[in-house]
Amino acid sequence: MFESGAWLPLLVTTAVAIASWYAAHLLASRRDRANKRRELLVTYLIEAYRRLESGANRQMTSEQAQAVESAIADIQLFGNTRQVELVQAFAQEIAEMGDGSLDELLVALRADLRRELDLAEVPARLRYLRFKRMARPK
């Protein structure tokens, strides 16, 4: 059937094909995990940004205060080193003075998220739109 040495090239070819398949599978699974991790982090940080922005520069209700507390926890869990430093500084300001500014943290979060999502840079300055209590329709 086969000559005595003819099976060796077939065996080597098969081994290379199996090793290549395994390496491709390993690399694809690592890439998929990294993409899922990135997607999860971005989702949590976008939500944290929204909760913080919603509570910034206004009298907070207890519901908004809880949302800000939750955002702070999420950033401490999922944020990068700079974001964690900024959120902890904000929390310290609140604890010591009862008030604090979220601007630097929001600017950093926005810049990092825009970079992660491959969006263009925008001016660092934030603008808030806050409506004063409106009269109820009669």
- pLDDT tens digit sequence for 27-65: 999 999 999 999 999 999 999 999 999 988 888 889 999
CA angle, residues 27, 28, 34, in degrees to nearest 5: 90
Instruction: State the DSSP code for 117.
Output: T
Q: 137: helix, coil or strand?
A: coil
Report the predicted TM-score, pTM, of the whole model to 2 decimal places. 0.75
Sequence-ordered alpha helix ranges (H) in the chain:
7-55, 62-78, 81-97, 103-116
Average pLDDT of the chain is 90
Answer whether 54's CB lies under 8 Å from 43's CB: no
- For residues 19 and 27, give the distance between their C-alpha atoms in angstroms, rounded to a whole number: 12
- For residues 41 and 24, give the distance between their C-alpha atoms in angstroms, rounded to a whole number: 26
Mean local confidence (pLDDT), 83-92: 96
